[in-house]
Structure 1
């Protein structure tokens, strides 16, 4: 696998020198300062590329060129936003960067209820807690109909938990869910969030899939013409939340995705954390099935719990068998004669990460370096044994 690290640009506390020292050879980044839906200009693309290459690294994947909300909704100026996206594809290709990760999640990117959940060893991890999510929807957001999306047991626990929460705890929960990531969505106020959610009233899974299909049928021919691959990231978590449809969360959804446009440019970012949070997903089987369409790997592991909660576990721990995952990857790499770009995703806060708490949540230096080292060793052992 081609070993990469995500980098959030010049403002990232994890510097390019740190990434190189960690053993990665490539960088995954984006033009985080460009407003969502606007054209990425060649000059700005080249500036970032030059910075990365001056550090002795390569820009292996763009993550992400975000999809404007109007495209997902097919409203307003969505046709112009699609034209902007096509031009951005042409511009990144002209600069020699030809791999694009994106997602089609409504309103939010990945969602967690805790950003600094303490593990038994003192490290911290990201966590999605189903009871806390119910508290947010039922009592903080006060979403109409939210009670229909949870079991009676979860609702009872949520009511009890909410009654004992302090104002600080309520604020922490809201801040976690409303927190944005650079280049995707800014931190939102509750009123802004409710307004964005309301735009999806009445939207079904099929409606959103139809809009994704329309988008891909517009942009994939441009990508293919310019030698670019598009790799969709699965929904995280892989379940409906906040009354919003999630449409890339299972093997069946990926079947639909690859069927929308029959092109190698219409591909997949295989995220073992997102897909692994769904207990029905057989990850090695899916890697084998979609091997020709997988262009990018996010390797992380989550520990699933019975009620649908999960937390980010060790990269080689958790509920997914990472040995079988990497073995399946090694086989498709050998079949295709390539090295797939991989990045260790969502590292724990450990050692100095806990002291110098300046990195974006889940993107600490040492936690991800530990994950990269473990995955590198696992891959070496597997390849030597094949």
Structure 2
């Protein structure tokens, strides 16, 4: 679904995300993939000459290379070669900020390393980010020991299982409050963190780069009618996301699976917006998220980047497809409609209850504002008349606590 030019631009963006100086990028047409070198002999020789002439230290192949292909290309080019998976893993290694994120990336890295003959296993000696694809301080040339890798993977999986259980306990405690969960998902650099900051007034790192956010962040948001929800910002998806990364980040992405509402954020200004949306939907399916149509809100972000013609087309498309909401997380346009849509989606299956409170029952009124959505409020001769919207499992509790209005 993508143009070769867009794929090339994305690969360059990935390289620059870890501060690589990109000397050049080339799109290569292949009649067939060569088992030994992926590229044809003539192209390998041409790239080798360019590497030597420009004193290039690294060649990134935007594809999946076998261990043999990677090794043969390194011999031919006389420099380090990494593939798309290796580059994404390197980015993730540098972005991880929490202990959990570091464990998840290390597990994915080890699964990748285990399948190939790599000269060094450096992450135990490294003092800072990254996982040794590009070299760095403290690097040693030690032949990978498969048994040690396997033992380390078992230990990490055990620790991540504990993380998964801890998250499940946190979700259970939130269910007792209860606060519904709204998860932001989308292609990397679609503007999820900017939208998260706009909705929560937080200051999560938001930058115009691929994978600016890796570690999940959660904040409480207030809904238009006084209710509350937990908003979760997640790692961005990308085309051809390595299976090992999906597996490693499954503990984090459990938050998406358990979410009451999933907000799919799309960069509508991107030339490959449709293809990016398809990739996100594919990964959601791989995560086993069923019946997501009932929980999904599609958001077309970055309206501020569109010219007048494209904006008019978006307005027309939005009328034709009312399920999508056009917003600008940067300027705030459309955010009120999005908040209303989130509240409306959360309200499905909830029950409206009419209540009459004694005006002196301040504690009860506070409880309702914290645990339910107060839709209307009016003084009457009988007391304070309220219409509240509550989850099905809270209806009887509310009626017992406050009684039901006439």
TM-score, structure 2 normalization: 0.27
TM superposition score normalised by structure 1: 0.28
Greater C-alpha Rg: 2
